[in-house]
Structure 1
Amino acid sequence: MEAYNEIKQGEKGAWVSILAYIVLSAVKLTIGRLSGSEALMADGLNNSTDIVASIAVLVGLRISRKPPDRNHRYGHFRAETVAALIASFIMIAVGFQVLYEAVSKFWEPEIQSPDMISAWTAILCAIAMLFVYRYNYRLARKINSHALMAAAQDNRSDALVSIGAFVGIVGSQFGLAWLDPLTAVVVGVIICRTAWHIFKDASHALTDGFDEKELAEIRRTILDCKGVKRVTDIKARVHGNRILVDAVIQVSHHLNVVESHAITERIEERMRTERNISHVHIHIEPYEASSDPLISQSGS
């Protein structure tokens, strides 16, 4: 139940992003067209597609809250990861479009310097987006949402893009008119780079990839539990905002079923309190010192 409440909180972050992008994209596209700034236009176009990406994240979070059914025994938590994947496709398509339009601008016979109002628009929008980023980043960390963290990364990239647009527009006022379309090229590269990282993380999670260092920490947590002799096998995967762990442990062969079960309960409690992992499947096997290859070698 707690996981579902956390996802519901994540929807607030998605709504904040959607509303912010609607306002900022309208402002940037309008001012960019009136002032003749390619960089601000590219930034506004980026924000307009971010609306669609944020809606995809919101829909994914909504689907994730659906309870388990006979076709989805683990629930629908991975829907938010799929949403992050869709968002990355949208972003990279926009990135290529921005690059194409910016590069085409270099072949025009004369590049006009945009008005300074576009520069002040860019920097004010950057400040606003940094506030959105901080809100979504903290919320994503709190509820462990990969989709919302992807949205937060997008928010941060958008703030940096707006800062870059500001620099390019100001530079164009000093006779460097080519700096504005050049900044638009940088904007396109940043959009594509952010999309690639989101795609890589989402596809890694969807194919049951898991960080080796984090898996080693989980193994260490299990080994530290009283009564655990060895961890012979351990697997983990990301399922939306949850981590699922399957482990095979060895305990003393002198223990009865009740005593062995008590060890699994201690493991589950430590995983829940220390690592915020609520789903742990433990398989128990008997342990004998003579069967341990390290002990056998030292004894021989």
Structure 2
Amino acid sequence: MIKLLAKIFLKRQEAGSAGEREAYGILCGLVGICLNLLLSAGKFLAGTLSGSIAITADAFNNLSDAGSSLVTMVGFKLAGAKPDSKHPFGHGRIEYVSGLIVSAIILLMAFELLKTSVEKIIHPEEVDFSFAAILILAVSILVKLYMAFYNRRIGERIRSAAMRATSVDSFSDAAATGVVLVSAIVSKTAGIGIDGWCGAAVSIFIFYAGISAARETLNPLLGQPPEPEFVEEIERIVMEYKEIRGIHDLIVHDYGPGRVMVSLHAEVSAQGDILILHDVIDNAEQKIREKMKCEAVIHMDPVITRDPVALKLKQQVYELVRQIDEKMSIHDFRVVAGPTHTNLIFDVVVPFRYRMSDEEVEKIIEIKVKEQMGTEYTTVIQVDKSYTG
């Protein structure tokens, strides 16, 4: 159904464009609202006729899902607004905010359902499940699995955390409705009343879905490392230029889906023609914009490439640092020789939450340099953190 609707309503949208992203978000939101309202009405009717708190709880869960789809749809619409003087990087993060609101709605509904289910456990009532109620639950499971499938597929296509969270929510709903279906079958065939317990199980499923959805949307708001594939592709594009010897200090600034800025340092020969090298950097920036659909700023970092002494010292320090930890790396290496000692100036990159403090890292490198390379060498170290995970 989604594929057919996309062909009808999205045929004028360019693949990979912000317009396609917004259109897919609105389309999936509308479909989600319609399907969830139908499921909620059917389950509410079945729950009322049978007196089942578990089915009624599931009906209100679907009603909250319809509200969530509405919030997501509005979020996509607002996120698609063009940049303005007060928001020069656009409004893309509104999509994450809408996802967070959806998570809050899910968690609130889970709490209310858990409270009602506990009351039903304490004060159980007779439940009369009908064949129609069981059929409605079975159809609901199939519909929710379909919704989980298309939300996941579209979410991956447009790289949307909000839609991936909606997919997780739909899959959790299918599992929760499965629990209710088991309750109905057990009650009808064995006469064992587990309705309140199944309602509690449904609420726990919804809690889990809400927490998962919150994590999916809160992390990009706070700032998270970019996907490894994205980093690898940036590195591949930049390193295609033979004049660029290496890159470091790669930072990805995420201002919302489709609004990403990349900054990095590109190492070039200090002996090269600055005008030619500047042209190379400009070309690399433009290629990133075209292929990755994001803004790019590259800082040109001159490095010594023809001094055999400096190159040998750099290699020695690199191997020494790798002895301490293979996750460490160095860059911006310079040598300043004096009459009594030689300064080795460089940056060392360590992971976040490393077992040693920055001061301890500096100290152990200094000690090893003097032990393995000579006491005439003094280290001047800047400790960096990797922003790409």
TM over 0.5: yes
Whole-Å Cα distance in 1 between the matches of residues 93 and 145 of structure 2? 28
Q: Tell me by how many angstroms 1:96 deviates.
A: 0.7
Whole-Å Cα distance in 1 between the matches of residues 287 and 163 of structure 2? 27
Q: Tell me by how many angstroms 1:159 deviates.
A: 2.0
Does structure 1 retain, via aligned residues, the 8 Å contact 2:267–2:302? yes
Q: Which residue of 1 aligns with 2:275?
A: 257
From 141, 146, 158, give the equivalent of 1:126. 141
Q: Tell me by how many angstroms 1:171 deviates.
A: 1.6
Relative to total residues, which structure has the larger helix share, 1 or 2? 1
Q: Identify which range, 95-104 or 31-40, moves more after superposition.
A: 31-40
User: Quick check: 1:288 aligned with 2:308?
Assistant: no
Q: Which residue of 2 aligns with 1:107?
A: 122
Does structure 2 retain, via aligned residues, the 8 Å contact 1:88–1:198? yes
Does structure 2 retain, via aligned residues, the 8 Å contact 1:251–1:260? no
Q: Residues 227-246 of structure 1: matches in 2 within 5 Å?
A: 227-242=243-258, 243-246=260-263
Question: One-letter code of the match for 1:297?
Answer: V
Q: Which residue of 2 aligns with 1:279?
A: 295
Question: One-letter code of the match for 1:259?
Answer: L
> Any stretches of 5+ residues in structure 2 without a counterpart?
1-13, 320-372, 374-389
Identify if the C-alpha distance between structure 1 residues 21 and 109 changes in structure 2 by more than 3 Å, giving closer, same or farther.
Answer: closer
Percent of aligned pairs with the same amino acid = 24
Q: Which residue of 1 aligns with 2:378?
A: none
Identify if the C-alpha distance between structure 1 residues 281 and 177 changes in structure 2 by more than 3 Å, giving closer, same or farther.
Answer: farther
Whole-Å Cα distance in 2 between the matches of residues 189 and 234 of structure 1? 41
Relative to total residues, which structure has the larger strand share, 1 or 2? 2
CA deviations over 1:20-67 (Å, ceiling 9, x no partner): 111111111111111122221111110111111111111110101110
Whole-Å Cα distance in 2 between the matches of residues 152 and 293 of structure 1? 53
Whole-Å Cα distance in 1 between the matches of residues 88 and 302 of structure 2? 30
Question: One-letter code of the match for 2:303?
Answer: Y
Whole-Å Cα distance in 1 between the matches of residues 154 and 227 of structure 2? 25
Identify if the C-alpha distance between structure 1 residues 62 and 298 changes in structure 2 by more than 3 Å, giving closer, same or farther.
Answer: closer
User: Quick check: 1:174 aligned with 2:192?
Assistant: no
CA deviations over 1:57-95 (Å, ceiling 9, x no partner): 111101011100011111111111100000000000000
**Over the residues paired in the alignment, what is the CA RMSD in angstroms?**
2.6
Q: Tell me by how many angstroms 1:160 deviates.
A: 2.0
Question: One-letter code of the match for 1:229?
Answer: R
From 86, 89, 108, give the equivalent of 1:74. 89
Does structure 1 retain, via aligned residues, the 8 Å contact 2:40–2:60? yes
Q: Tell me by how many angstroms 1:217 deviates.
A: 3.2
Q: Tell me by how many angstroms 1:219 deviates.
A: 6.2
Q: Tell me by how many angstroms 1:283 deviates.
A: 1.8
Question: One-letter code of the match for 2:315?
Answer: I
Identify if the C-alpha distance between structure 1 residues 56 and 271 changes in structure 2 by more than 3 Å, giving closer, same or farther.
Answer: same
Identify if the C-alpha distance between structure 1 residues 298 and 113 changes in structure 2 by more than 3 Å, giving closer, same or farther.
Answer: closer
Q: Which residue of 2 aligns with 1:145?
A: 160
Q: Which residue of 2 aligns with 1:48?
A: 63
- Where do 4+ consecutive residues of structure 1 move more than 4 Å? 211-216
DSSP-derived class of the 2:192 partner: coil
Whole-Å Cα distance in 2 between the matches of residues 235 and 24 of structure 1? 45
Q: Which residue of 2 aligns with 1:37?
A: 52
Q: Which residue of 2 aligns with 1:297?
A: 317
Q: Which residue of 2 aligns with 1:164?
A: 179
Question: One-letter code of the match for 1:193?
Answer: Y
Does structure 2 retain, via aligned residues, the 8 Å contact 1:24–1:44? yes
DSSP-derived class of the 1:112 partner: coil
Q: Which residue of 2 aligns with 1:7?
A: 22
DSSP-derived class of the 1:173 partner: helix
Does structure 1 retain, via aligned residues, the 8 Å contact 2:239–2:245? no
Q: Tell me by how many angstroms 1:271 deviates.
A: 7.4
> Any stretches of 5+ residues in structure 1 without a counterpart?
none
Identify if the C-alpha distance between structure 1 residues 5 and 240 changes in structure 2 by more than 3 Å, giving closer, same or farther.
Answer: same
Q: Tell me by how many angstroms 1:231 deviates.
A: 2.0
In the alignment of these two chains, the number of paired residues is: 298
Identify if the C-alpha distance between structure 1 residues 121 and 109 changes in structure 2 by more than 3 Å, giving closer, same or farther.
Answer: closer
Q: Tell me by how many angstroms 1:109 deviates.
A: 4.9
Identify if the C-alpha distance between structure 1 residues 229 and 122 changes in structure 2 by more than 3 Å, giving closer, same or farther.
Answer: same
CA deviations over 1:244-275 (Å, ceiling 9, x no partner): 322122122214334343345346536754xx
Q: Tell me by how many angstroms 1:155 deviates.
A: 1.9
Whole-Å Cα distance in 2 between the matches of residues 246 and 167 of structure 1? 54
Q: Tell me by how many angstroms 1:120 deviates.
A: 1.4
